[in-house]
């Protein structure tokens, strides 16, 4: 038996209304060409209603033609994105939609905007993009490993081009770590983190304004204050007064050093304090948005706290994960709507693809430096 109603949501709602009505029509489509949003389709069982308006509705569904890209010598990233505006397929169209949503989000002066990402991409050249993006957001939520990689590289840690197809047992015998296709000598990671941590932590501990108890965001602010590398995410967050929330700060080399340090120093880490601040952000801001790169604890912390204000108003999620294992990383943003973590009428899109490819193009198209 045919389903009486099937709805396929391509969730980027506009405020311009719909062509046709949801009730009494076989098909209706909501979109705003001016806002260049991806259409929102409602597809009904064609056997359930009469056919007199099918031609009219068909025209509405097919009103935006696919545009062939015309490459030109010396074309800019912004120009290329203009050519791709109506590329149609497949993840590229989601990338274009996501770029427009981020643009709207950052231009909305009422919106408190989050940037979230995991640690792995900080080991790549994308660290520079993330550092330059920091000043455009109100808060960052990330993981413990982000601090490890940012700190190691800020103090000269050498991360090298490698390959996915390596003999990992052989690399281990050479004391070379493999992170995807990035190679890192043991001393360029662990030793750099340990040495830089001790140097900075001792300076914090001996300072006249030492507090004995810190939240994760307060501690990372102090580290950013003492880092000299302008390419550091922690440094840029400090310079632009952007708080870094790190609910998994103990999960990594930095967290291990904190644990060791606390054994013979009067130091306490208060993880609850940041949670209370995230709660306040949720309740104090009527409009919120987020660019979420990858899943895990960083993504979930963004959407979790935003559910208490009724959900995000803007959301863009970049992922390579599949939704069919039930994981948070694979979950599309549509799933978050069912939890109230994203508003039903929010502007949002999930982009399937590798952030190391997608993000530099999106940020360049938006004119970020």
Q: Which of 77, 75, 138, 72 is nearest to 357 (CA)?
A: 77
Q: What is the pTM of this model?
A: 0.85
Domains of the chain, residue spans: 5-61, 79-157+214-251+270-365
Whether 5 shows a pLDDT value over 90: the answer reads: no
Q: What is the pLDDT of residue 60?
A: 87
The greatest distance separating any two alpha carbons of the chain, rounded to the nearest whole angstrom, comes to 81
What does the pLDDT average to over 312-336? 95
With beta carbons less than 8 A apart as the criterion, state whether 293 and 116 touch: yes
CATH 3.40.50.2300 fits 79-157+214-251+270-365, yes or no: no
The C-alpha atoms of residue 56 and residue 328 are separated, in whole angstroms, by 40
Q: Report the alpha-carbon distance of residue 40 to residue 16 in Å, rounded.
A: 12
pLDDT at 1 over 50: no
Give me the pLDDT at residue 369, please: 84
Catalytic residues: 341
325 close to 335: Cβ distance less than 8 angstroms: no
User: What is the average pLDDT score of the chain?
Assistant: 88
User: Smallest Cα–Cα separation from 117: which of 338, 356, 336?
Assistant: 356
Neighbour tally for 112: CB within 10 Å: 20
pLDDT at residue number 122: 98
Q: Which helix (H) or strand (E) holds 320?
A: none
DSSP 187: I
Residues 99-157 pLDDT 10s: 999 999 999 999 999 999 999 999 999 999 999 999 999 999 999 999 999 999 999 99
Beta strands in 60-133 (DSSP E): 111-116
* Tens digit of each residue's pLDDT (9 = 90 or more) over 194-233: 999 999 999 999 999 999 999 999 999 999 999 999 999 9
* Count of positions (residues) in the chain: 369
**Token digits for 96?**
């274009």
Q: Where are the beta strands (DSSP E) in 262-367?
A: 268-269, 287-293, 312-319, 342-352
d(CA 297, CA 30): 34
């Amino acid at each position: 038996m045919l389903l009486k109603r099937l709805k396929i949501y391509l969730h980027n709602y506009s405020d311009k209304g719909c062509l046709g009505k949801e009730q009494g029509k076989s098909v209706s489509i909501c979109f705003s060409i001016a806002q260049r949003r991806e259409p929102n389709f409602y597809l009904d069982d064609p056997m359930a209603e009469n056919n007199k308006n099918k031609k009219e509705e068909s025209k509405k569904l097919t009103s935006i033609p696919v545009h062939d890209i015309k490459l030109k010598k010396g074309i800019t990233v912004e120009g290329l994105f203009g050519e791709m505006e109506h590329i149609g397929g497949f993840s590229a169209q989601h990338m274009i939609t996501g770029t427009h949503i981020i643009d709207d989000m950052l231009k909305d002066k009422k919106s408190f905007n989050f940037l979230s990402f995991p640690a792995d991409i900080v080991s790549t050249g994308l660290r520079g993009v993330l550092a330059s993006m920091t000043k455009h957001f109100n808060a960052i939520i990330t993981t413990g490993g982000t601090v490890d990689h940012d700190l190691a590289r800020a103090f000269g840690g050498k991360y090298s081009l490698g390959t996915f197809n390596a003999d990992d047992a052989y690399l281990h015998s050479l004391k070379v770590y493999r992170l995807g296709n990035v190679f890192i000598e043991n001393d360029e990671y662990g030793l750099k983190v340990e040495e830089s941590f001790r140097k900075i932590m001792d300076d914090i501990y001996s300072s006249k304004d030492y507090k004995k108890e810190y939240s994760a965001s307060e501690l990372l602010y102090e580290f950013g204050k003492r880092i000299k590398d302008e390419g550091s995410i922690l440094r840029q967050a400090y310079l632009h007064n952007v708080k870094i929330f790190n609910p998994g700060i103990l999960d990594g080399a930095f967290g291990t050093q904190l644990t060791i340090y606390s054994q013979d120093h009067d130091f306490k880490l208060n993880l609850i304090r940041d949670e209370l601040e995230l709660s306040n952000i949720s309740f104090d801001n009527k409009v919120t948005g987020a660019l979420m790169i990858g899943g895990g604890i960083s993504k979930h912390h963004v959407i979790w706290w935003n559910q208490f204000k009724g959900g995000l108003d803007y959301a863009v999620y970049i992922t390579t994960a599949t939704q069919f294992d039930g994981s948070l990383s694979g979950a599309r943003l549509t799933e978050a709507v069912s939890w109230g973590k994203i508003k039903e009428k929010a502007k949002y899109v999930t982009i399937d693809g590798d952030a190391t490819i997608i993000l530099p193009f999106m940020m360049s198209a938006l004119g970020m430096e």
